[in-house]
Amino acid sequence: MDIINKFSSAFWSTDIWLPPNVTWADIAPGSRPDVVHANYKDLIWPIPLAAVVMLVRYTLERFWISPVGKSMGIRSSRPKKAANVPILENAYAKSTRLDNKWLGPLSKQTDMSERQIERWWRLRRAQDKPSTLVKFCENTWRCIYYLYSFIFGVIVLWDKPWFWNVKSCWYGYPHQSISNDIWWYYMISMSFYWSLTGTQFFDVKRKDFWQMFIHHMVTLLLMSLSWVCNLHRVGSLVLVVHDCADIFLEAAKLTKYANYQKLCDAIFAIFTVVWIVTRLGFFPRIIYSSSVEAPQILPMFPAYYIFNSLLLMLLVLHVIWTYMILKIVVDSLQKGLMSGDIRSSDSEDLTDSSENVRQANGGSSRSKSKSSTNSGGVSQRKSHSVSNHTADTEQKTISK
């Protein structure tokens, strides 16, 4: 117990987390009659609120999004099941990718030809893929949330001085009051990430499952620390700046699933513009304030350098992601089609897109389809590692 207390005291040292000559008692709730400080005990509220968020999501998907998707003709059926071959099932459990070295031994053990094994493997992999309707519902829910979060964030921040003048984030720090609307904005945002942590085990399985799980936990940790340190002003700005582009990203995905390719291309173009304006325009303005203006207004402390370094790292990632997005745009213009999703965490998105385009065009030759899929696959693989990192790594600094 003594070890735990010593570790806690060392970790929460005021020399690290607070400006000079400020103690935790100084920013405790009720310490000053003119300031409503953040209460660290409020961080328990996002957990039960996450259950409410999941209930809202289930209700919307079950009674509205799914029926709408079906009425639009989105495929809800899944491929027929592969034949039950225990030997092949055991091999598939080890790896979903078929190694050519396995074909000979498996063929001898199952008395099946190598071609039959390859067909079985393709069918078995298709069996594990979620239906297009399931992915449509998931992305529609995310689009709805980001739209709500952005609108609510703008409404909440509209009358706040730091929304129009970033320097106001630092005036009077750390004695800055938490208003009721900011309290709700933070709590609901955190509840959303708690809900993602829980529903991730039931949503479409991604290759980056554990990476995203760790990401959500880190996001929650950073948001919690920003709350404890009373850095809610700059945190709210980062939140609203990052939610904006995600609206159009999710909208582009769901229109792709609905087979509205031209609309998908248009929305993706809007996403690209909004991304550049917010991530390379507004966000650097926040970083300029935290890096140049903040040191002129308040004394610096270690936690400030930690948070600001993470903001700078995120800006570097934004530049890299923007480069990747522009490459996708150029590639798409050359093909006359959006060939990939720079931030899609679903490895099957591209395949669905190719299938939808072939249907929309009344079918094309088999060789042309393969060429389109393969070229799109190259773009998808190039962006996949960046995309999975983006979808929410950028959310990490929401918490600062």
Kindly state whether residue 33 falls inside one of the protein's structural domains.
no
Closest C-alpha to 276, from 295, 298, 248: 248
Kindly state whether residue 390 falls inside one of the protein's structural domains.
yes
Confidence (pLDDT) at 278: 95
Pick the range with the lowest mean pLDDT from 131-135, 210-214, 359-363: 359-363
The model's pTM is 0.75
306 or 361: which leads in pLDDT:
306
Kindly state whether residue 22 falls inside one of the protein's structural domains.
no
Indicate the residue type of 312: L
Structure confidence by residue, pLDDT tens digits, 264-303: 989 999 999 999 999 999 999 999 999 999 999 999 899 8
Closest C-alpha to 399, from 235, 185, 201: 235
Closest C-alpha to 121, from 108, 130, 112, 133: 112
Q: Is the dihedral of CA 385, 388, 394, 397 positive or negative?
A: negative
- Average pLDDT value for residue range 208-223: 74
Q: 182 with 318, same domain?
A: yes
Closest C-alpha to 56, from 151, 141, 182, 146: 141
Q: 97 with 178, same domain?
A: no
pLDDT at 12 over 90: no
Confidence (pLDDT) at 97: 77
Q: 124 with 137, same domain?
A: no
pLDDT at 397 over 70: no
Confidence (pLDDT) at 390: 42
Domain hosting 104: range is 86-128
Determine contact, residues 387/342, Cβ cutoff 8 Å: yes
Kindly state whether residue 4 falls inside one of the protein's structural domains.
no
Report which listed range, 3-7, 83-87, 88-92, 265-269, is most confident: 265-269
Determine contact, residues 16/300, Cβ cutoff 8 Å: no
Q: 115 with 67, same domain?
A: no
- Average pLDDT value for residue range 218-246: 89
Report which listed range, 78-82, 207-211, 339-343, is most confident: 78-82
- Average pLDDT value for residue range 294-323: 89
Pick the range with the lowest mean pLDDT from 101-110, 310-319, 375-384: 375-384
pLDDT at 353 over 50: no
Q: How many residues does the chain have?
A: 400
* Overall domain count for the chain: 2
Pick the range with the lowest mean pLDDT from 115-124, 264-273, 360-369: 360-369
Kindly state whether residue 3 falls inside one of the protein's structural domains.
no
Kindly state whether residue 240 falls inside one of the protein's structural domains.
yes
Q: Residue 271 class from Cβ within 10 Å (0-12 exposed, 13-18 middle, 19+ buried)?
A: buried
pLDDT at 11 over 80: yes
Please give the biggest Cα pair distance in the chain. Answer: 82
Confidence (pLDDT) at 145: 95
Q: 208 with 111, same domain?
A: no
Q: 288 with 323, same domain?
A: yes
Kindly state whether residue 34 falls inside one of the protein's structural domains.
no
Confidence (pLDDT) at 384: 41
CATH number of 109's domain: 1.10.10
- Average pLDDT value for residue range 89-108: 80
- Average pLDDT value for residue range 348-360: 39
How would residue 127 be classed by pLDDT, with cut points 50, 70 and 90?
Answer: confident
CA dihedral 182, 183, 187, 188 (to 10 degrees): -50
322 or 355: which leads in pLDDT:
322
Q: 105 with 181, same domain?
A: no
How would residue 141 be classed by pLDDT, with cut points 50, 70 and 90?
Answer: very high
Compute and round to an integer the Cα radius of gyration of the chain.
24
How would residue 79 be classed by pLDDT, with cut points 50, 70 and 90?
Answer: low
Q: 49 with 164, same domain?
A: yes
Q: 136 with 122, same domain?
A: no
How would residue 207 be classed by pLDDT, with cut points 50, 70 and 90?
Answer: low
Q: CA-CA distance, 60 to 69, in Å (whole number)?
A: 12
Here the contacts of 364-372 (C-beta below 8 Å, separation 24 or greater) are 372/335, 372/337, 372/339
Q: 287 with 389, same domain?
A: yes
Q: 221 with 170, same domain?
A: yes
pLDDT at 394 over 60: no
Kindly state whether residue 349 falls inside one of the protein's structural domains.
yes
How would residue 87 be classed by pLDDT, with cut points 50, 70 and 90?
Answer: confident
Confidence (pLDDT) at 81: 74
The per-residue pLDDT of the chain, averaged, comes to: 80
Q: 207 with 118, same domain?
A: no
